[in-house]
């Protein structure tokens, strides 16, 4: 160390120059943080400030413990030198006001805002885990179903924000946090969000707002009138990266990236990443259209394409009647007619059998006539004959086993289930079909007629063997599910019987981990010293 006045060499612990007597200014320790010290002094009676989580252009974020409520929080602070700038101060206030208007399971909540001793800060929920950016850097491309789950959660968060007139404008992996244990994705950092009714305009036309690699084309042009579809473009870039492991445009410089975005269409996701489900690839490709009018109209439409509702919105009463007749009543009538003909062969002179045959034939004719009427009504609604047939044969709500692919409901996850779960479901479906269509009717007929005792015994033996096989497959499936989802046997068994078309269950954690082949981390009672903890990280805060 040298004296600033005379240049004499001084020992590190010197406070005055030994040659000229000039006071040596104290040098802060390498790990000192004046802002942390100022924050501790200002609000230390309410919060125990623990450590820095991240620092960026719009402030710093610290992990703290709220003493009164005994909970961890994240405190974002605008440094005093920036707080003196009216525009920065107003932007910071606006971020707090914007976040305060949002209360959603997939958005980091804001608790309070304050100004004290020249510091402007707000307190928000702390997410223990990591950012999506960190996970992508560590793991590369995510399994398609895991990417879909995060994609859907962000659609729901954006739909909520957009319906309140807020455009985020900075959707990127750094601003998506993944909570440890639950795997819940949360959107954060509304620092440059655009409220619909802003008191003052803090940006001007031509000013670039956002992160170049994730900007929409209209953001890259500096347009001031961007809307919710800009967020969908940015979210599409994030989803493209989640599935393929790389961005659709990734040049050496930000300028090149923006130029490509304005002049070129991205490579279709299906050709950039093999094995991506067609519906997911289509949804992402539509997000990345340069013309906003060609993108999804809103986040709700995108979410519905990614994870259809459990009940089809357009399943009208005529379609329900036609579906019930085609998938349940007519098959039952055919089975009953077959049994009646079998008994007629054994007792050709039975009058009862002839009457039952006539009744069943009449019922079948009536069902066909009703089906024709329903088909005509569906045609009058604008459906073609192929669509009418699809409605009639569509997977019914009671379906729990295999169903022909062409007639499955949108989003059905049968092909994504682990093999052991499919084996159990197929065995159970075949056993139930056998019991109701063969075992019970033949037992009743043979007992009534007093014939074929050997057949009854054979049917009973087959039934017992089928039950034993099904229970064995069920036990094996439960043993497969329990350690993956960290649930008890009852919860695992309940999941085995959940319809594969009930996407609201299968596309969300923890069940979604069975589809993606990824097991969620087991829940932990506390936070250990080596646990990765999140992080608003080194994002632009």
CB 177 within 8 A of CB 130: yes
CB 507 within 8 A of CB 149: yes
CA-based end-to-end distance of the chain: 36
CA dihedral of 349, 351, 354, 356, whole degrees rounded to 10: -140
CB 343 within 8 A of CB 449: yes
Q: What φ, ψ does residue 363 adopt, rounded to 5°? A: -65, -40
DSSP assignment string, 76-105: EEE-HHHHTSHHHHHHHHHHHHHHHT---T
CB 286 within 8 A of CB 294: yes
DSSP assignment string, 205-242: TT---S-GGG--HHHHTT-S---HHHHHHHHHHHHHHH
CB 516 within 8 A of CB 145: yes
CA 321 to chain centre: 33
C-alpha to C-alpha distance for 39 and 390, rounded to whole angstroms: 64
Catalytic choice (170, 174, 189, 412): 170
CB 131 within 8 A of CB 178: yes
- Contacts of residue 23, defined as CB under 8 A and 6 or more positions apart, other chains included, come to 15, 16, 17
- Contacts of residue 526, defined as CB under 8 A and 6 or more positions apart, other chains included, come to none
- Verify whether residue 170 is a known catalytic residue: yes
Question: Mind telling me the catalytic residues?
Answer: 170
């Amino acid at each position: 160390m040298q004296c600033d006045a005379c240049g004499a060499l001084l020992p590190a612990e010197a406070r005055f120059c030994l040659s000229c007597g000039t006071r040596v200014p104290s040098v802060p320790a390498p790990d000192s943080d004046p802002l942390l010290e100022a924050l501790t002094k200002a609000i230390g009676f309410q919060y125990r400030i623990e450590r820095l989580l991240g620092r960026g252009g719009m402030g710093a974020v610290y992990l703290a413990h709220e003493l009164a409520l005994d909970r961890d929080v994240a405190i974002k602070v605008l440094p005093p030198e920036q707080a003196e700038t009216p525009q920065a101060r107003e932007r910071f206030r606006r971020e707090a006001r914007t976040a305060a208007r949002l209360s959603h399971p997939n958005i980091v909540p804001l608790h309070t805002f304050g100004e004290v001793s020249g510091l402007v800060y707000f307190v928000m929920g702390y997410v223990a885990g990591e950012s999506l950016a960190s996970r992508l850097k560590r793991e590369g491309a995510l399994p398609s179903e895991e990417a879909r789950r995060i994609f859907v959660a962000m659609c729901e968060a954006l739909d909520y924000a957009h319906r309140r007139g807020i455009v985020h404008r900075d959707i990127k992996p750094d601003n998506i946090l993944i909570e440890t244990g639950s795997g819940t994705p949360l959107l954060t950092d509304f620092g440059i969000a655009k409220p619909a009714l802003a008191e003052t305009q803090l940006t001007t036309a031509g000013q670039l707002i956002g992160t170049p690699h994730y900007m929409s084309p209209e953001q890259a042009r500096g347009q001031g009138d961007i809307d919710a579809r800009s967020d969908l473009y940015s979210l599409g870039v994030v989803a493209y990266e989640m599935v393929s492991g790389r961005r659709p445009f990734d040049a050496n410089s930000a300028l090149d990236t923006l130029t490509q975005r304005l002049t070129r269409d991205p490579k279709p996701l299906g050709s950039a990443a093999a094995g991506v489900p067609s519906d997911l690839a289509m949804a992402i490709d539509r997000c990345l259209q340069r013309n906003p009018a060609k993108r999804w109209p809103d986040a709700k439409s995108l979410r519905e394409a990614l994870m259809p509702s459990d009940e089809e919105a357009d399943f009208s009463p005529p379609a329900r009647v036609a579906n019930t007749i085609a998938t349940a009543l007519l098959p039952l009538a055919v089975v009953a007619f077959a049994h009646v003909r079998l008994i007629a062969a054994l007792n050709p002179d039975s009058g009862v059998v002839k009457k039952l045959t006539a009744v069943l034939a009449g019922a079948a004719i009536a069902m066909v006539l009703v089906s024709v009427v329903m088909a005509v009504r569906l045609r009058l609604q604008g459906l073609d004959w192929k669509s009418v047939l699809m409605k009639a044969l569509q997977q019914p709500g009671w379906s729990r086993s295999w169903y022909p692919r062409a007639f499955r409901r949108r989003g059905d996850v049968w092909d994504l289930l682990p093999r052991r779960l499919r084996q159990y479901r197929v065995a159970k479906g075949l056993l139930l079909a056998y019991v109701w269509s063969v075992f019970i009717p033949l037992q009743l007929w043979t007992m009534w007629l007093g014939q074929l005792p050997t057949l009854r015994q054979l049917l009973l033996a087959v039934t017992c063997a089928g039950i034993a096989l099904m229970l064995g497959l069920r036990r094996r499936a439960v043993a497969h599910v329990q350690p993956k989802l960290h649930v008890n046997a009852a919860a695992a068994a309940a999941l085995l019987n959940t319809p594969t078309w009930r996407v609201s269950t299968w596309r969300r954690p923890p069940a979604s981990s069975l589809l993606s082949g990824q097991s969620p981390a087991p829940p932990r009672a506390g936070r250990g010293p080596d646990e990765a903890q999140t992080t608003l990280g080194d994002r632009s805060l």
